[in-house]
Structure 1
Amino acid sequence: MKRMKFRYAMVCSSNQNRSMEAHSILKRQGFDVSSYGTGSHVKLPGPSLREPNVYDFGTPYKHMLEDLRRKDPELYKRNGILPMLKRNCTVKLAPQRWQENAADGSFDVVFTFEEKVFDMVIEDLNNRDHVLMKTVLIINLEVKDNHEEAAIGARLALDLCQEIEATDSWEDTIDDIVAAFEKQHRRKLLYSISFY
């Protein structure tokens, strides 16, 4: 398998759907990819909006899966949470929080899937000491938080990553890549450059 040039991070808020779907697809395609949440906890839908299932970052996906199977297997199968957690178990051990785990400056491109997370990632990067002076590209691809849209968003993220990989230096071509992507897919992207 061809060695990828760049390292990617997929970041969403706290429920582990959009970032993990993208992580799963990119990992299967041989990309060097990680995924993160930005919330204070991992929140998964519960029996009602006021009763989410809340877990600490670092809680193994297997534990969440077993916990929800014990609580109400039919509900969590029907709403897609059990299949999502099964997928997540095949990707990595447990969810990680961006603010605690992504400080090493090793990513070239960071994808977010909602504007507030895009803003949080940029703010987090801007508040760090820029010791490496290494550029990092942050792209927001707005994706609704449901299983169908997460699958579509992951394929779009893969397309973008493939375009970025096809260049020697994304810094020189990102404007053209974004313009072509927006025209082809009729989706607006936000993007910014920060530093490690």
Structure 2
Amino acid sequence: MTGDPRLKSRAQQQKPVAVPPPPPPPPMEPPASTMGMDGASDAPDRQSVVDDSKFKLKFCTVCASNQNRSMEAHLQLASAHLPTVSFGTGSLVRLPGPTINQPNVYHFNSTTYRAIHNELAQQNTQLYTQNGLLNMLSRNLSIKGYPERFQDWIPGKPRLDHAEDQGAQGTEAGVVDVVITCEERCFDAVLDDLHNKGGKLNRPVHVFNVDIRDNHEEALVGGKAILDLALSLNEAAGKERELHGDGGWQSGGGAAREGFDEKVPEILAAWQERWPNLPALWSLSWF
């Protein structure tokens, strides 16, 4: 007796269908490089610590109060073994207080970072821990003794009393090759002050501005960007000196110095492509 064809059809419909195995996963690709907030690699190809046997440009970092942005950049450059000093351009050191109308105000050149730290800790430890001021001041006092004002700096005056500052080696003569500010008003103040001082040393100095917002997070990013610029400049200067010798370098003459000065605009342009969110300015001035 043949079976009911309807049941046969139903059985065929209920028979499980074989599913082909899934295809093998695609081959693993090498991980992409870690990129910073402004499109620059956190681990640049060039050596981030300059060998002590190599030529080194001398650097100066500047912000308003010599507290946040200039000090982060100071630390980054000094950690790369680049000679570094730092300053502020404000009339007084101003730090956030309990309200926007009650800032904490201190004098340049005399009030130490440790004294400021201790005072704020006594005022309100919770507030100044929460807003990062105490942590910032702890970092600062490990770099140098006190905030300095750019307008009070006498270029060429020995800085022998700053031997314990980070980055002090190479800055004892009180001159630098490059000044990097962190805000356009500081850039203008530096250029005005250098003009007023009259260039008595007849020594050229490249002045850059890297526009960085004044908060802890962007100061860290900006410090990395300034280090990248400093390493690019230092590398180019070293190559020119190896090629042409160092004759006339200090006074802004000679083939090496001329070659380096001519390359600065293209160095800055290449740097700006790597850090498009940090607008930059540049000018040549004199000590």
TM over 0.5: same fold? yes
User: Closer, same or farther in 2 for the Cα pair 1:68/1:4, shift >3 Å?
Assistant: farther
Q: Please point out which of 112, 127, 132 is paired with 1:75.
A: 127
Distance in 2 between residues matched to 1:117 and 1:102, nearest whole Å: 18
Report the equivalent of 1:28. 79
The root-mean-square deviation of aligned C-alpha atoms, in Å, is 1.3
Distance in 1 between residues matched to 2:95 and 2:154, nearest whole Å: 22
Report the equivalent of 1:101. 153
Distance in 2 between residues matched to 1:95 and 1:34, nearest whole Å: 11
User: Closer, same or farther in 2 for the Cα pair 1:24/1:190, shift >3 Å?
Assistant: same
Report the equivalent of 2:62. 11
Structure having the higher Rg: 2
1:184 aligns with 2:184: no
The 3-state SS of whatever aligns with 2:236 is coil
1:100-135 CA distances to partner (integer Å, 9 max, x unpaired)? 125336111000011011001001101112222211
Q: Give the percent of matched residue pairs that are identical in Structure 1 and Structure 2.
A: 39
Distance in 1 between residues matched to 2:142 and 2:66, nearest whole Å: 17
Q: Which moved more, 1:14-23 or 1:153-162?
A: 14-23
The structure where strand makes up a greater share of residues is 1
Runs of 5+ unmatched residues, structure 1: none
Report the equivalent of 2:200. 131
The structure where helix makes up a greater share of residues is 1
Report the equivalent of 1:39. 90
What is the number of equivalent residue pairs in this alignment? Answer: 196
Distance in 1 between residues matched to 2:127 and 2:78, nearest whole Å: 29
The 3-state SS of whatever aligns with 1:153 is helix
What code does the residue aligned with 2:184 have?
Answer: E
Moved over 4 A (4+): none
Runs of 5+ unmatched residues, structure 2: 1-50, 157-173, 238-256
Q: CA deviation at 1:149?
A: 0.4
TM-score normalised by length of structure 2: 0.66
Q: Which has the higher contact order (CA 8 A, sep 6+)?
A: 1
Q: CA deviation at 1:4?
A: 4.5
Contact 1:44 1:54 in 2 (8 A): yes
Contact 2:66 2:87 in 1 (8 A): no
